[in-house]
Amino acid sequence: MELLEAWLILRSVKGVSDGTICTLVRHFGGPKEVLSASASELRHVAGLRPSVVTALRKEPEPSVVAHVRKEMRLLEKGESGIVTILDAAYPRRLAMIPDPPPLLYVRGTLPASDNYAVAIVGSRKASPAGALMTQELSQQLAGMGLTIVSGLARGIDAAAHRGALAAKATTIAVVGCGVDRTYPPEHRQLQRDIEGHGAVVSELPLGAPPLPHHFPRRNRIISGLSLGVIVSEADQKSGALLTARFALEQNREVFAVPGAVKYGKHRGAHGLIKQGAKLVEDARDVVEELLPQFDGLLVDRVKNARFQETISQSFTPKERRVLSLLHEDPVSIDEVLMEAPFDRAEVMSLLLSLELRGCIRQVPGSRYVRTSC
């Protein structure tokens, strides 16, 4: 029996959880050794239920073997690969969660196992402002060398991936189907772009459809790959809150981006802030919290001028023009109008955009001061 075939057969044994598979292969040294272990040897593994011992000692059904061999033929095409929990390439942080997937299917290239990653998740029905804020936040973080992890869903997830791609940085999409499928279908090109600048990963076998129960499970992988999880825009029923709960269980940091108090799409994020999540206005709020976990090289990248350059590159020419007119001394809207070739409504919109990003703040008298960026 080939090693890969043994992995796929072991994963197919009914009633054996991911956590149990990981325990077994670590105990015996590999999947072939697990499948060939006697009942007596299996019983010596602490916590192993009798039903699991019985299941492991059964010969695999012919249908299981046929399915495994079909999957092996698909893998031989080379478009997708598998990384196992025993491989050096398996993400180090993910391996430390209570129930890591024993197998990760991969399209693209996983970053180094000790790579620094942060997850950004949120509503599938994101507002235009929420998507813009997320993309810019992702671009800022990616520009400092952080890998951006998300779930390739509509809305906030897509904005997070696009921000990383705009920074020409690495991003990982954890999907709730086989990596050889695209969901949602309109993200086919985005998925290809991610494969070219990172990886699309799944614990599900090739061809697996995007069934509803797949997505809650994949959320533990999103948080498990990351130092922390940022919830950008989420209502009280959003799946992003489940990712945040997984993050807490895995001893990861949880961050939340605030929004309008009466706007339902932000209630989930506001609830997290009430419970102690770090409030995020820009990338600095994230990196300051994570800084103790960074190595020297990444610390230097955070502190150097590239951070400011990354922020400035995320602005439109009009936003940069208005920002250039503001400084530490208060400036009125009329003063901005005198220098900027825009009408009042457009200036108000540009000022609001800059204020939402934390680059400026309003002071008494309808005046503005520059705070950062």
- Average pLDDT of the chain is 89
For residue 48, CA distances in Å to 20, 36, 85, 144, 181 come to 8, 16, 19, 45, 35
Instruction: Give the separation between CA 53 and CA 199, rounded to whole angstroms.
Output: 36
d(CA 289, CA 71): 43
Weakest mean pLDDT among 106-120, 183-197, 199-213: 106-120
Please determine, for residue 316, whether its predicted confidence score (pLDDT) is greater than 60.
Answer: yes
pLDDT at 174: 98
Asked if residue 7 lies in contact with residue 84, where contact means CB atoms within 8 angstroms, the answer is: yes
In the predicted model, what is the mean pLDDT of residues 123-145?
Answer: 90
Q: Are the CB atoms for 110 and 83 separated by under 8 Å?
A: yes
Comparing 261 with 246, the larger pLDDT belongs to 246
Output phi, psi for 37, to 5 deg: -65, 145
Per-residue pLDDT of 18-30, as tens digits, reads: 999 999 999 999 9
Q: Which domains does the chain have, with CATH numbers?
A: 1-74 (1.10.150.20), 117-306 (3.40.50.450), 315-370 (1.10.10.10)
| Res. 311: pLDDT tops 70 | no
Query: What is residue 235's predicted lDDT score, i.e. its pLDDT?
Result: 85
Q: Per-residue pLDDT tens for 148-194?
A: 999 999 999 999 999 999 999 999 999 999 999 999 999 999 999 99
Question: Which contacts (CB < 8 Å, 24+ apart) does range 283-288 have?
Answer: 283/137, 283/140, 283/141, 283/144, 283/307, 283/311, 284/372, 285/255, 286/118, 286/137, 286/141, 286/228, 286/230, 286/255, 287/141, 287/144, 287/146
Higher pLDDT, 2 or 160: 160
Please determine, for residue 269, whether its predicted confidence score (pLDDT) is greater than 90.
no
pLDDT band (50, 70, 90) for residue 338:
confident
Q: Give the pLDDT confidence score for residue 305 in this predicted structure.
A: 36
User: Helices (DSSP H) in the chain: which residue ranges?
Assistant: 3-12, 18-28, 31-36, 39-43, 50-57, 62-76, 92-95, 128-143, 156-166, 188-196, 214-224, 240-249, 267-274, 283-290, 296-303, 306-313, 317-324, 333-339, 344-356
If you compute the radius of gyration of the chain from its CA atoms, what whole number of angstroms results? 24
pTM of the predicted structure, to 2 decimals = 0.79
Q: Is the pLDDT of residue 51 over 50?
A: yes
